[in-house]
Every structure is written in C-alpha cells, then in structure tokens.
Amino acid sequence: MKSKQNLIFISLLLSHLTIHAYQSETTISAEKPIIYCPEANQLIKKGLNWKSTTNIVWKSSEASFGDEISHFSGAQWQGVKVGPMICIYESKTKGVFPIEVQNNHLFEQPTQKNWSVGEDNYLNCVSNNIKDCPLTPKIKAATPTSTRQIFQEIGAQ
C-alpha cells in the first residue's frame, strides 16, 4: 500500500514538473483588455437619467437637467488597486452639473500617463478625448476545472 502511494506521488510530481517545464517554454504574456468610456453619441437620456447604447452598460445614478451632451471631459477612479470608474461629460445646457455615468464593473488602478492624483486620492484623467483615458476591467480568475489546469496553477505560483 505504501509503495502504491509513493508511486502515485512520484507520478503526480513528474506530471507537475513536466507541465511546469512546458508552461515555462510556451507561456506568452496575455495583454489585458482595455475599454473606454462611451462616446457622447452613445448615451441617450431616459427621463432624467442617461444610459449607454453600447454592449457594456453605462448609466447615470444622479438625475441630470442637461438635455444634450456637449463633450467628454474626463474620467475619475478611486479604490485600492481596484475600484469603480466614473465617466464625466459636459452638458450643452448651461449652468447644470456635469453628467456622470458608470457601470457595475470594477477597474484596475489606472497607471497610464494621463492619470493624476487629485483631491482625496481620486485619480483623474482630464481630457476631451476618450482614448486618453483607458480603463482596464478587473477580470475574475477562472477556476481550474481539470487536473491539468490545477497543476498549471500550482506551477504558476
């Protein structure tokens, strides 16, 4: 019985070493996905709130008296390594507060050059160009489903 357990342990260990060696030779770093705030023409007003027409749902949580969006004015993030993102737009209606939309995703802390620390440790990206304010969504790690994936996870640590 003891030798059978040793044989199983050794075969598992060899499998792990083989998978780890193979993984080390073939692993290519995957780029993280980047998304952007919606374009002004991708936001529509329903009642007093704004909502995006994109696949990723962005919506305002505060009522807005602005009837049309003039332009994108930036984005804001706050958190500890991950946090929510707010996209900010100016209204064509003079004297009303900016329009802010967000979604229910968490985003990694922005590190690109256009982001700077503001008051209360908010990170701000002040730009009229949406592409200047890239967002990296926090993606939940997949749960291993096979023995091979479990061994790959062990080898990656």
Domains of the chain by residue range: 2-31+144-156, 40-132
CA distances from 157 to 20, 118, 151, 153, 154 (A): 10, 36, 10, 7, 6
Q: pTM score > 0.85 for this model? A: no
| Lowest-confidence pick of 37-41, 99-103, 115-119, 122-126 | 115-119
What confidence score (pLDDT) does residue 30 get? 60
What span, in angstroms and rounded, lies between the C-alpha atoms of 132 and 117? Answer: 16
Q: Is the pLDDT of residue 118 over 80?
A: yes
| Predicted local confidence at residue 50, as pLDDT | 94
Mean pLDDT, range 96-116, rounded to an integer = 92
Q: How far is CA 133 from CA 42, 76, 104, 113, 153, in A?
A: 17, 9, 18, 9, 33
Asked if 50 contacts 99 with a C-beta cutoff of 8 angstroms, the reply is: yes
Evaluate if residue 152 carries a pLDDT over 50: yes
pLDDT over 90 at 75, yes or no: yes
* CA distance to 6, 58, 62, 72, per residue, from 54 (Å): 56, 8, 20, 16
Mean pLDDT score, 136-147: 74
The more confidently predicted of residues 59 and 143 is 59
Rg (CA), the chain: 23
> Does 138 have pLDDT greater than 70?
yes
Nearest-angstrom CA–CA distance, 90 and 74: 9
Return d(Cα 88, Cα 95) in angstroms, integer. 16
Mean pLDDT for all residues in the chain: 79
The CA distance from 4 to 7, in Å, is 5
- Asked if residues 40 and 89 have their Cβ atoms less than 8 Å apart, the reply is yes
Task: Please tell me the predicted confidence (pLDDT) of residue 153.
Answer: 67
